């Protein structure tokens, strides 16, 4: 019987088993470096090595870190930590030193809990130094450990000089690691390291590890600089501040002890906060020594703690003038701070760890900051009153700005839809409208929301597919009429210049169930905004809220009380179960419930998971990699009435990539 020919497409290229490429080892990093690191310059791949050296110091094994910029464009990082183990890995049969630099998910940081090498570390994506190796033309590593010096050399991620070991000579350092890398310019927009950022990074490591010295040597300029801060965060903040502090610095720290009911031993934060009347505020936050330039839940915890304490003080002393409403921003507006949080299992947004996403970090930091500041304010009442004055002044100017806008647009406004539950504030920077699927979820959202800044508009049933509806026929549909009137902007096209001065909310958030129907409603609303309100998407006003799919009830264990956790998807669910397992709770003891829809959540759950700005997941809606016209073509294929054939072709082509939730 003749062999069956390969199926070929119209271009005649064969598509068979051999066409499927499996990316091995470090290939995925080389193919798509932007998924693993920042590609504007090589600083981030140097930082991966630096973080490892800092983790050794954080674990108490090193006192010195030295970074050398060599004449030939390479960067060397040297530490006096324990040295990377260079024996053979029991399961993999290869030297551990080699695995650390050639496997994406290898490292001591996954081994948490008793006897793990690192309790607190910043690296937890498991990509780490293997990415540095993949994106370097050459990388040399030497490890001083167990009386031996082990050395290994790579080129483009592959071993070119296999592991060599020799006994340490008298006078040589007994322990530590040196990594020297030559970043490959073809992966980066600029091959040069940004000196300002590098200096800032090294200085911050010294700040966060009082007593550890960090040195930078530049061979080209023959310059060398060493940072060592005995006074930690306080010294650093005072040196960096622009304006004069209105009151003395508020500093403190708090960490959980072994018997803490909610947090692991050692979790907590240290902070220094200064309030100034002028000058740009200095705001720096770190998690396990990793800088988080985009902030995250630990920053939110500091903000929450400061706000609650100041608000409590103002109420206690009856300082708030009539008609003034205090908001977190009013207290935070003039605050400069350095915050260093320690979190056992940090969850970051994105591979490059710029923003902390761990929900518990908010409670963790706030729980230590608030009581400390309350005590401090009540011990120094005069300073407390100065701080209260600063916050009240900020609240008054914010409210004045909000009223001006209101007067301008007060005349001739269409009557707001009856089912809209509006918010009290008129401040665009804080106002949010939630378009909620279904009346029952709408009810929970109304009860659970923040009345000051969050408005709710419940939608009944499926919204109209407006892709091919003419603009002047849109208002025939009640739902769409109500959405447009509530937002305060008229429908428009991509080339129009609509009047956005009537916009009533800074954020318009689509909130639908995490199931297939919910996704359909989301798509219909996104279609409406892209087709008839494109300027709102362009200005970054449209968002999609992501409610969790699962709730996990973890029973009480020892002194720790029972807890509830929420997971966005299967991945987060298994992370929660893994964490529980590490704390000694078997998987079958954890009760997992799946939310069929938002209507099943009570007001408090909905606030915790989906509405609270500090703990929710809110995705901004933006154009992806395609231009406006290309995006339009894709949506026409998906939403156009006469496009059934094109949709079918798309499904046949990509059907097997989709996980269907039946």
| Token pair in block for residue 15 | 């598509």
Cβ pair 342, 120 in contact under 8 A: yes
CA–CA separation, 377 and 309 (whole Å): 8
CA–CA separation, 62 and 65 (whole Å): 8
Q: Which one of 78, 284, 437, 608 is the catalytic residue?
A: 437
Three-state DSSP at 64 gives: strand
Cβ pair 402, 305 in contact under 8 A: no
500 appears as a binding residue in the annotation: no
The Cβ of residue 440 has, within 10 Å, a number of other Cβ atoms equal to: 15
Please tell me the total number of residues recorded for the chain in this structure: 662
Contacts of 100 (CB under 8 A, 6+ apart): 84, 106, 107, 128, 129, 130
Cβ-count burial of 104 within 10 angstroms (0-12 exposed, 13-18 middle, 19+ buried)?
middle
Q: Which of 245, 292, 246 is nearest to 269 (CA)?
A: 292
15 appears as a binding residue in the annotation: yes
198 appears as a binding residue in the annotation: no
Q: What is the rounded end-to-end Cα distance, in angstroms, of the chain?
A: 42
553 appears as a binding residue in the annotation: no
126 appears as a binding residue in the annotation: yes
443 appears as a binding residue in the annotation: no
Contacts of 400 (CB under 8 A, 6+ apart): none
Q: Round the CA-based radius of gyration of the chain to a whole number and report it.
A: 28
Q: Which of 485, 484, 495 is nearest to 525 (CA)?
A: 484
413 appears as a binding residue in the annotation: no
Give yes or no: 189 in active site: no
Per-residue H/E/C for 567-615? ECCHHHHHHHHHHHHHCCCCHHHCEEEECCCHHHCCHHHHHHHHHCCCC
- Please list the helix, strand and coil fractions of the chain in percent, rounded to the nearest 5, in that order: 35, 20, 40
The torsion angles phi and psi of 469, rounded to 5 degrees, stand at -90, 135
- The helix (run of H) or strand (run of E) holding residue 343 is none
Give yes or no: 513 in active site: yes
Give yes or no: 515 in active site: yes
| Token pair in block for residue 55 | 């983790």
CA–CA separation, 422 and 427 (whole Å): 13
Q: Which one of 299, 374, 513, 608 is the catalytic residue?
A: 513
The Cβ of residue 497 has, within 10 Å, a number of other Cβ atoms equal to: 7
Cβ pair 507, 431 in contact under 8 A: yes
The torsion angles phi and psi of 366, rounded to 5 degrees, stand at -60, -40
353 appears as a binding residue in the annotation: yes
The torsion angles phi and psi of 616, rounded to 5 degrees, stand at -80, 170
Half-sphere exposure of 277 (CA within 13 A, CB side): 10
Q: Which one of 439, 517, 553, 630 is the catalytic residue?
A: 517
Q: Which one of 219, 515, 583, 600 is the catalytic residue?
A: 515
Which residues does residue 379 pair with via DSSP β-bridges, in sequence order? none
125 appears as a binding residue in the annotation: yes
Cβ pair 446, 606 in contact under 8 A: no
543 appears as a binding residue in the annotation: no
Give yes or no: 257 in active site: no
| Token pair in block for residue 210 | 């009082």
127 appears as a binding residue in the annotation: yes
Binding site as annotated, residues for ATP: 15, 52, 79, 123-129, 353
Catalytic residues: 437, 513, 515, 517
């Amino acid at each position: 019987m003749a062999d069956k020919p390969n199926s070929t497409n119209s271009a005649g290229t064969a598509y068979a088993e051999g066409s499927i490429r499996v990316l091995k080892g470090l290939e995925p990093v080389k193919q798509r470096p932007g998924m693993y690191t920042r590609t504007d310059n090589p600083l981030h791949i140097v930082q991966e090595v630096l973080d490892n050296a800092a983790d050794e110091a954080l674990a108490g094994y090193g006192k010195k870190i030295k970074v050398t910029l060599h004449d030939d464009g390479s960067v060397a990082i040297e530490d006096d930590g324990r040295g990377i183990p260079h024996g053979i890995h029991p399961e993999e049969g290869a030297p551990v030193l080699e695995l650390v630099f050639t496997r994406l998910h290898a490292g001591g940081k996954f081994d948490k809990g008793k006897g793990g090498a690192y309790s607190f570390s910043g690296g937890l994506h498991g990509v780490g130094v293997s990415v540095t190796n993949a994106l370097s033309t050459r990388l040399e590593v030497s490890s001083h450990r167990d009386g031996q010096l082990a050395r290994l050399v790579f080129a483009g991620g592959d071993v070119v000089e296999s592991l060599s070991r020799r006994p340490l000579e008298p006078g040589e350092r007994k322990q530590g690691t040196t990594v020297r890398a030559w970043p490959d310019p073809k992966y980066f927009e600029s091959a040069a390291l940004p000196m300002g950022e590098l200096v800032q990074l090294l200085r911050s490591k010294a700040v966060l590890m009082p007593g550890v010295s960090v040195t930078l040597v530049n061979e080209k300029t023959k310059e060398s600089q060493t940072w060592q801060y005995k006074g930690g965060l306080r010294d650093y903040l005072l040196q960096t501040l622009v304006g004069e502090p209105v009151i003395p610095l508020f500093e403190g720290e708090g960490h959980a002890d072994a018997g803490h009911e909610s947090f692991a031993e050692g979790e907590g934060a240290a902070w220094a906060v200064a309030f100034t009347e002028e000058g740009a505020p200095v705001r720096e936050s770190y998690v396990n020594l990793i800088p988080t330039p985009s902030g995250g839940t630990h920053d939110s915890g500091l903000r929450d703690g400061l706000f609650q304490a100041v608000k409590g003080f103002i109420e206690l002393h009856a300082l708030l003038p009539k008609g003034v409403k205090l908001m977190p921003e009013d207290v935070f507006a003039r605050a400069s701070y350095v915050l260093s949080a320690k979190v056992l299992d940090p969850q970051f947004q994105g591979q490059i760890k710029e923003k902390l996403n761990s929900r518990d970090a908010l409670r963790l930091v706030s729980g230590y900051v608030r009581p400390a500041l309350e005590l401090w304010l009540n011990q120094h009442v005069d300073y407390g009153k100065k701080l209260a004055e600063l916050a009240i002044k900020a609240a008054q100017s914010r409210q004045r700005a909000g009223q001006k806008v209101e007067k301008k647009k007060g005349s001739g406004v269409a009557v707001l839809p009856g089912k809209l539950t509006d918010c009290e504030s008129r401040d665009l920077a804080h106002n949010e409208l939630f378009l909620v699927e279904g009346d029952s979820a709408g009810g929970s959202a109304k009860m659970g929301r923040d009345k000051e800044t969050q408005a709710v508009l419940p939608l009944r049933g499926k919204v109209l597919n407006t892709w091919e509806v003419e603009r002047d026929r849109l208002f025939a549909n009640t739902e769409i009429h109500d959405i447009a009137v509530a937002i305060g902007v008229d429908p428009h096209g991509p080339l129009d210049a609509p009047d956005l001065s009537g916009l009533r909310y800074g954020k318009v958030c689509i909130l639908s169930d995490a199931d297939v129907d919910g996704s359909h409603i989301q798509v219909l609303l996104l279609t409406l905004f892209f087709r008839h309100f494109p300027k709102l998407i362009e200005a970054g006003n449209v968002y999609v809220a992501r409610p969790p799919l699962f709730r996990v009830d973890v029973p009480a264990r020892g002194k720790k009380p029972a807890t509830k956790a929420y997971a966005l998807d299967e991945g987060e669910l298994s992370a929660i179960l893994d964490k529980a397992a590490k704390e000694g709770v078997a998987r079958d003891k954890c009760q997992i419930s799946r939310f069929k829809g938002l209507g099943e959540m009570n007001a408090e759950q909905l606030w915790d998971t989906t509405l609270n700005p500090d703990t929710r997941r809110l995705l901004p809606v933006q154009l992806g990699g395609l231009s406006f016209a290309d995006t339009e073509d894709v949506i026409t294929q998906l939403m156009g009435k006469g496009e059934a054939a094109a949709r079918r072709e798309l499904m046949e082509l990509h059907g097997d990539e989709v996980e269907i939730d039946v």
